[in-house]
Structure formats: structure tokens, C-alpha cells
Amino acid sequence: MAPREIPVVGLDHLHAPLVSIREQAAVVVTLLRSGQATTFRQLVAGAEQRGVVVARFLAVLELYRHAAIAFEQLEPLGEITLRWTAAHWNDDQLATLGADYDR
């Protein structure tokens, strides 16, 4: 005759910490401006959270859209190599990078 316990569904897995695309873009810019070609695998090697990997990928796409980087993939599903191509880059451009994702 005791009332049945109401089941609880955990939502902790849905509330992952937010990762800034701008901050990750700054990391990407710093690594690529050294002049050395870098693979995407190397770019995300230190990332412990899946959100950081996604944010760095979006940052790469944004930097490509702004013609700051170029990438090459020699075979389907092969390694992606990134290199810095911007002749005139101002770090102030990072302030608006990824603004489309803020909504």
C-alpha cells in the first residue's frame, strides 16, 4: 500500500560545459601561424572533451571561410593537413569569428 517511487531520469549528460569557438579558434591560429603544416589529429591531440574537438573543427571551418587557412586531404577519410595562408591577419578578427554559432 506504500506509494510507488517516481522514476528519475538523469540529465547530467545533456548539460555538458559550453566550449567557446572563439577560444578554440585562438588556439588553432596560434598553432598554425607558426608556419608549420599541422594535421587535424595533431590539432586536437590534447583535447580531453568531445566539445573541444567539435569547437576546433568549427573554428577550422570558420578560418577557412575567412581564407586564413587551407587544408588538404589526399584520400577519402584520410588525414587532413592544415596550413596558414592569411597574408594579413589581425587578431581582432577573432572577436567576430564564430558569431553565427552564438545564437
8 Å CB contact between 84 and 32: yes
| CB neighbours of residue 58 within 10 Å | 18
At 88-98, the pLDDT tens digits run 877 777 777 76
Q: Which grid coordinates are listed for 39?
A: 594535421
Q: Give dist(CA 38, CA 81) in Å, integer.
A: 6
Which segments of 57-100 are extended strands (E)? Answer: 69-73, 80-84
In this prediction, residue 12 has a pLDDT band, given cuts at 50, 70 and 90, of: low
Average pLDDT, the chain: 85
CATH homologous superfamily of domain 18-101? Structural maintenance of chromosome 1. Chain E (1.10.10.580)
Domain boundaries, the chain: 18-101
At 52-92, the pLDDT tens digits run 999 999 999 999 988 899 999 999 999 999 999 988 877 77
pTM above 0.85, yes or no: no
